[in-house]
Structure 1
Amino acid sequence: MKMTSALKATTAALLVATGGMAYAESHAMTGPNGEALAENQTFTYRVLDEFPSIDPNLIEDVEGSAIARNLFEGLMSEDAQGELVPGVATDFEVSDDGMTYTFNLRDNAMWSNGEPVTASDFVYSWRRAADPATASEYQWYMGLMKIENIEEVIAGEMSPEELGVTAIDDHTLEVRLTEPLPYFAQMVTHATTFPVPQSVIEEHGDAWTQPGNMVGNGAYVLAERVPQEYITLTKNENYWDAENVIIEEVTALIINDENAALTRWEAGEFDQTDVPAGQFPRLAEEYGEEAVSVPNLCTYYYNVNVESGMEAMKDPNVRKALSLAIDRDVIVNNVTASGQVPAFSLTPPYTAGFETPEIDVAGMTQEERNEMAKELMAEAGYGPDGESLTVPIIYNTSDSHRSVAVAIGQMWKQTLGVETTLDNQEWQTYLTTRGEGDYEGVARAGWCADYNEASSFLDIMQSDSGYNDSGWSNSEYDQLMAEAPTANDPNALYQQAEQLIVEEQPILPIYFYATAFMLDDTIKGWPLENPSDTWYAKDLYRVAEE
């Protein structure tokens, strides 16, 4: 345990003065399992970058989604094992043909301003997310949900009012699909599908997400936000289950330097931070169970700009050679060293219902891969006896991302004679650059499942996906993904789709994530068995130090 888990003055000054100290006055001082609770019921954690948005319909990043889960609540939520549990909806029914879902909403769900949450709030939110005028980066996700008329609405051919979602009454929401989706209920745990308050948005416009304006229906409300510094949430007394929410205040500190963040964590300034690349073994030895590493449904990879990048990137042989020359064992054992697993495919092997196909190169030694890489590069006309090649790598500012990029650059130079240039960009700039295909070579990327099913990964490589940042288009792949949701054996189609990615290599899979972080041992309730690392501050609590 660290010398202290209390906030240092430098951090405490950022927090709302009332903090969590009122907890003792309003709650019994015992936790869910009878533990003695601390008087200080705050949770402070570190994030790498500023949040591009905290508007549920506009969020596109993992950390933004975590904030949304605390400020808002969707129809369904997840428990500590990742299983569906009631959110605003207490339950739902599915029609015999699997194409109509009826969600029954609880009658005590309220907005933070005291107004009731109704089915119409979900209708408004879903229409808003699908509306081209909203310009949601996750509009494509609504398309994946196969809601009636969604494609026409997204294309601007139909009004959002024609979307297949209806408020039967205040507490009954009907959703009509164009085809059965066995995993549809999992999809409504995603932030894009959370309700948003129409009257507040219409009153404040884009400023509705500012402190003092924002109204949510989650366990917390927005108290303070200082861009590039921190965001603070405080308990929402109007939340339907507020009496069981123990943590009174949540703060996300924005610290771009991972090593500086670790130093501050070790000094006891806050409760959680990511482990910098390569440091997990040391930290695990020094801090024991406070150093946490668990598998996560995320994949780390490089996009290759096959559409508008440099000419060499359009050659499948070059892309295959670059992929083969990456020694993934060195990356996960010596660079990241936090429990990551080498990846040769997009979908993690522990995804529910998915079985990774046999990938030939995965069974080779690295020496064999290197020899094949040299042959492919020579066939493409590059290398010692051909044209010289320099590949630019862009990544969002992070010591860990830089360490991986440097290592890969060295591997490409040593094996293939390929030079690299490194370009780190601030998070929002990087997202824009990558999303617009405004890069010449490769771009770091990471994808975490929006729901626990293989399509959550493989759908992003479809030709019309909003997150197909390589610009790759393959009609056979698109057809496989179109057929998979209603197939008797979707896994077989998913495996074929993975093989197409391996054959054409529009992305270079590097590793499957492990969530590696430092967590103060007084914080309990973290869902370590949830494969998506979906956490809710309302389920956390701080125990008294022994």
Structure 2
Amino acid sequence: MKKALLLSACMGLILSTQALAANPGPDETLSDNQKLTYWLLDANKTKDPQKNSDVEGSHIARQLFEGLFNQTNEGELVPGAALSYDVSDDQTVYTFHLRPEAKWSNGDPVTANDFVYAWQRLVDPATASTYAWYEELMNVKNSSAIIAGDLPASELGVKAVDDHTFEVTLESPIPYFIKMTTHTSTFPVNKAVVEEYGEQWTLPGNLVGNGAYKLTEDKLGQDITLEKNPYYWDSDNTVIDTINFLAVNDKNQALNRYLAGEFDYVELPAGQFPRLKEEYPDQAHSVPRSCTYAYLFNLSDKGPEALKDVRVRKALSYAMNRDVVVNNITRGGQKPAYSWTYYATADFDPPVTDYSQWDQKERNEKAVELLKEAGYDKNNPLELTLSYNTSDDHKKIAIAAQQFWKAIGVNVTLNNTEWKVYLDNLKNKEFDIGRYAWCGDYDEASTYLDYFRSGGMNYGGFSSDEYDAAMKASLTAEDPAADYDKAEQILAEEMPLVPIYFYATPVMVPADVKGLPVENVLQNWYGKDLYRTAE
């Protein structure tokens, strides 16, 4: 009957110890300064775990709330709000045993009902969460029907057996279900607080979380201060006492402020890593990150008619000179991408797509040929708009793309907007070609491939019965590798996007800041696991 992560008290003790990464070595002395200032590219849109849809928002939510499990710096699962779980013989019923000492930041106990409320809230159409589909991917019973409005949220396959026992029933088994519980959309929220304050519940003074930190200040999402939560179950072992998130749209400006001592973490501007690694070898790092940078085509009814033609989409993808992007622009360890799923995803064999085997001259020649077949040439040039959000790096890549496409006879207008406006435009499908990046929600290929499933997040509106069938088959396959490869080949044939590069994130971190992940490809980090050492 039982297949528990932390079944025995002994194992529970071992893994609980692993969870305390803020554990200075015997030769390390803690600094008197235990404040961390973390850079954000864009202003934070929401701190609501069920409504957040971006990576930077998840960094903030992960400090304010805690899900069933956390991750180590290597990506291994460790106890969070749950100490252990059992799973039924048919692998469809998971029973989580919650930590009895866990409390909300107002002192109330964290209970199974808090998880029930949050998981129901995620799929409830009234919440209007752009991540409701994630619970569908988790295969939670009745989630699809609830999202469609055919059943009330109360019919979701979750229940509180008692205050410290949370039960989840799946429609059918999926082998990576537990991995998915580290995503912020599954984090609990306090029902009484949400219902009392409504849309204002995430403001300082109102927000109540169960994470290691509490929100004390928020200036328009651009300057956010968190302080240690004394009610957090492991507060005694939490060393960093203040985290400040500061948004600066310009990476060059952020780097200058880092060098002036104003930041403790920044991502480097494109092209700067080689120089900074030489000048600051103990501060400049290129770390793996499960993200793919791409341009999405708008294939919805709102999209341009030209992009309905797969020959046009292929031509634009083929003409993207990925080697120039990673070797001359980003220069931070990124790899050219000719497929969608991040190449270093666990247990995944990257597909070999046909156009990845050609050289750039061959790709350009094929692009020109396809455009001509589609009816476009110098006398009838294709006109499109490429949209991107504010960032010097995005601008540099967009300008390069504009030139790549001009070389095959396509005229592209660039359109830059700030993040909140840009994200709304993507959601509303008000774009021709849009800059996009997808970062893995968990370390398994389906986190990428489910994006293009009909009804998935899928801002470009791509839909393919054959693709959906492959992804459905993967759910019950003993080894889904063949289904994943088929899905990737369909993407290469239908080309709903231009994959450009696989991430490696070049960053600057002071040598005295310890505990940020360097091997976890999801780059999930927890302030409670960090500490600063004295010089």
TM range (shorter): over 0.9
The Cα of 1:229 is off from its aligned counterpart by 3.1
Hey, what does 2:454 align to over in structure 1?
A: 463
* Per-residue Cα deviation, 1:88-113 (whole angstroms, up to 9, x for no partner): 10011111111010101011011011
Inter-partner Cα distance in structure 2 for 1:93 and 1:470: 39
**1:161-172, aligned counterparts within 5 Å?**
161-172=154-165
2:82 aligns with 89
1:542 aligns with 2:535: no
1:481 is matched with which residue?
Answer: 471
**Contact 1:298–1:348 (CA<8 Å) still a contact in 2?**
yes
> 1:180 and 1:473 mapped to 2: Cα distance?
25
The answer to whether residue 420 in structure 2 is matched with residue 425 in structure 1 is no
Which of these residues, 468, 485, 493, is aligned with residue 503 of structure 1? 493
Secondary structure of the residue aligned to 1:209 is coil
Q: Distance in 2 between matches of 1:77 and 1:349?
A: 23
Letter in 2 for 1:151: S
Q: Secondary structure at the match of 2:226?
A: strand
Cα separation, 1, equivalents of 2:278 and 2:397: 24
Q: Distance in 2 between matches of 1:78 and 1:200?
A: 28
State the distance in 1 between where 2:402 and 2:178 align: 42
Q: 1:348 aligns with which of 322, 342, 346?
A: 342
Contact 2:298/2:459 (8 A) holds in 1: yes
Residues in 2 aligned to 1:491 and 1:455: alpha-carbon distance in whole angstroms: 10
Instruction: Return the offset for 1:31.
Output: 2.1
> Counterpart of 1:527?
517
Q: Give 1:319-330 correspondences, 5 Å limit.
A: 319-330=313-324
- Measured in 1, the distance between the counterparts of 2:475 and 2:512 equals 43
Which position in structure 1 is the counterpart of 2:6?
none
* Distance in 1, Cα, partners of 2:361 & 2:192: 62
Distance between the aligned counterparts of 2:332 and 2:100, measured in 1? 45
Q: For 1:24-423, what aligned pairs fall within 5 Å after superposition?
A: 31-307=24-300, 308-384=302-378, 386-414=379-407, 416-423=408-415
Residue 391 of structure 1 aligns to a residue in which SS? Answer: strand
Describe the superposition over 1:402-457 as per-residue Cα deviations: whole angstroms up to 9, x where unpaired: 0100011111112x021111111111110111111111x20000000001110000
Do the aligned residues in 2 keep the contact of 1:392 with 1:421 (CA within 8 Å)?
A: yes
Question: In structure 2, how many angstroms separate the alpha carbons of the residues matched to 1:215 and 1:543?
Answer: 30
| Rounded Cα–Cα distance in structure 2 between residues aligned with 1:293 and 1:507 | 26
- Kindly report structure 1 stretches of 4+ aligned residues shifted beyond 6 Å: none
Shift of 1:312: 1.1
| Structure 2 letter corresponding to 1:453 | E
Which amino acid in structure 1 is aligned with residue 187 of structure 2? F
Tell me the alpha carbon deviations over residues 480-518 of structure 1, each in whole angstroms, 9 at most, x when there is no partner: 111101102201000000000000101110000111111
Aligned partner of 1:21 in structure 2 is none
Mapped to 1, the partners of 2:26 and 2:146 lie a distance apart of 49
SS of aligned partner of 1:317: helix
Cα RMSD of the aligned pairs, angstroms, is 1.2
Contact 2:288–2:518 under 8 Å retained in 1: no
3-state SS of paired residue (2:280): helix
Q: Secondary structure at the match of 2:499?
A: strand
Instruction: Note the C-alpha offset of 1:287.
Output: 1.0
Say if 1:275 and 1:516, in contact at 8 Å, map to a contact too: yes
Q: Distance in 1 between matches of 2:305 and 2:120?
A: 41
Q: Residue 159 of structure 2 aligns to a residue in which SS?
A: strand
**C-alpha distance in structure 1 between counterparts of 2:322 and 2:195, whole Å:** 50
Residue 454 (1) aligns with residue 448 (2): no
The answer for unaligned runs of 5 or more in structure 2 is 1-21
Q: Tell me by how many angstroms 1:289 deviates.
A: 2.6
CA distance in 1, matches of 2:263, 2:423: 28
1:513 has 2:514 as partner: no
| Alignment partners' CA distance in 2, 1:343 and 1:533 | 20
Instruction: Provide the rounded CA distance (Å) in 1 between the counterparts of 2:299 and 2:62.
Output: 35
CA contact (8 A) 2:34 2:239 kept: yes
| Contact residue 30 and residue 36 of structure 1 kept, 8 A | no
| Higher mean displacement: 399-408 or 374-383 | 374-383
Amino acid aligned to 2:294: Y
Rounded to whole Å, the distance in 2 between the matches of 1:527 and 1:379 is: 49
**1:90 counterpart SS class:** strand
Q: Which moved more, 1:170-179 or 1:279-288?
A: 279-288
- Match in the other structure for 2:10: none
The structural deviation recorded for 1:345 is 0.6
Question: Shift of residue 43 of structure 1?
Answer: 0.5
Gaps of 5+ in 1: 1-28
Equivalent residues of 1:58, 1:137 under 8 A apart: yes
Measure the CA separation in 1 of the matches of 2:511 and 2:169: 46
Residues 317 and 376 in structure 1, CA contact (< 8 A), matched pair in contact too: yes
Q: Which deviates the most, 386-395 or 215-224?
A: 386-395
% same residue: 52
Query: Number of matched residues?
Result: 513
Equivalent position amino acid for 2:415 in 1: D
- 1:110–1:116 CA contact under 8 A, matched in 2: yes
AA of the residue aligned to 1:418 = V
AA partner of residue 421 (structure 1) = T
Residue 389 of structure 1, CA deviation? 1.2
